[in-house]
Amino acid sequence: MTTSEAPTWDLMVILSGAPFGDESISTAIRYVETVSGLGGRVLVWGCGFSTWLTQDGYRIRNRVTP
């Protein structure tokens, strides 16, 4: 993305570290729900242990056993 291009999202959330370490994950989820509920575009980027959230969500949604 160059400086003249607008981002394709209204909110970008970057999650890093352990998802169970503090309240940051539940706060991020509230931000995502609020912005997307108002019609905004949200990009969530996970790094480190936070990627477990998306992996577990995929398994639960698709009923895949590890």
Task: Enter the pTM of the model.
Answer: 0.61
Question: Domain residue spans in the chain?
Answer: 12-62
Residue 56 clears pLDDT 70, i.e. is over it: no
Burial of residue 11 (number of CB atoms within 10 Å: 0-12, 13-18, 19+): middle
Q: What is the residue whose two structure tokens read 């539940």?
A: 26
Residue 12's pLDDT is what?
A: 92
Structure confidence by residue, pLDDT tens digits, 2-25? 667 888 889 998 887 766 667 777
